[in-house]
Amino acid sequence: MIKILIVDDQPHIRRLVRGLVEAEHDWVVCGEAANGQQATEQCALLAPDLIILDINMPVMNGFEAAKIIHMRSPEVLILILTTDSSVHFARAASKTGASGFLSKANSGEHLVEAIASLLNARSIFWQLEGAMLQRLCVAGLGERLRRCFG
């Protein structure tokens, strides 16, 4: 079973994400958190394989949480799921240790695909630009990702 932690300050977003995750065979939601501080605590307690993490949250934002989680548990995959789909945010996410970035505007359509890509040892950074979904970077972890986002 793949254990997934969902972190978002909006309960309805957590419910939607939970529904998509739990519809997949071999994936289970091991916990939820409403801010970055709770995310770091839940990660230490639950040892998830993957964290779906919002950026704009109270107490501690997703970027700070991702840095701490990546430092403490570098094996944990982090998928940033946010309303801001700018290239600037995607680059910032890649520098935190996050493995992927996906706009909430496309999460219903692409969340399962993004999670599957991450679980198959790939990084995925997506951006919504106008009405077109543009794949910014799908590359192996490590040096190729750093070259994509410098």
The pLDDT tens digits for 20-29 are 999 998 999 9
Q: Which pLDDT value is given to residue 135?
A: 41
Tens digits of residue pLDDT in 76-128:
999 988 776 666 666 676 778 888 888 777 666 678 888 888 887 654 444 43
pLDDT score, position 106: 63
Which of residues 117 and 53 earns the better pLDDT score? 53
- Domain that includes residue 15, residue range: 2-149
Burial 19-46, CB ≥16 within 10 A → b, else e = ebbeeeeebebbbbbbbbbbbbebbeee
Identify the residue with better confidence: 41 or 85.
41
Span 65-86, average pLDDT: 87
Q: State the total domains in the chain.
A: 1
Task: Look at residue 148 in the predicted model and tell me its pLDDT.
Answer: 43
Say if residues 67 and 96 touch (Cβ distance below 8 Å).
Answer: yes
Global pTM value: 0.80
Q: What CATH code is carried by the domain that includes residue 106?
A: 3.40.50.2300
Q: Measure the CA–CA gap between 125 and 141, rounded to whole angstroms.
A: 12
What span, in angstroms and rounded, lies between the C-alpha atoms of 40 and 73? 10
Mean pLDDT of the chain: 78
Contacts of range 88-95, beta carbons closer than 8 Å, 24 or more positions apart: 89/55, 90/125, 90/126, 90/127, 90/136, 90/149, 91/149, 91/150, 92/63, 93/55, 93/63, 93/66, 93/125, 94/123, 94/125, 94/145, 94/146, 94/148, 94/149, 95/149
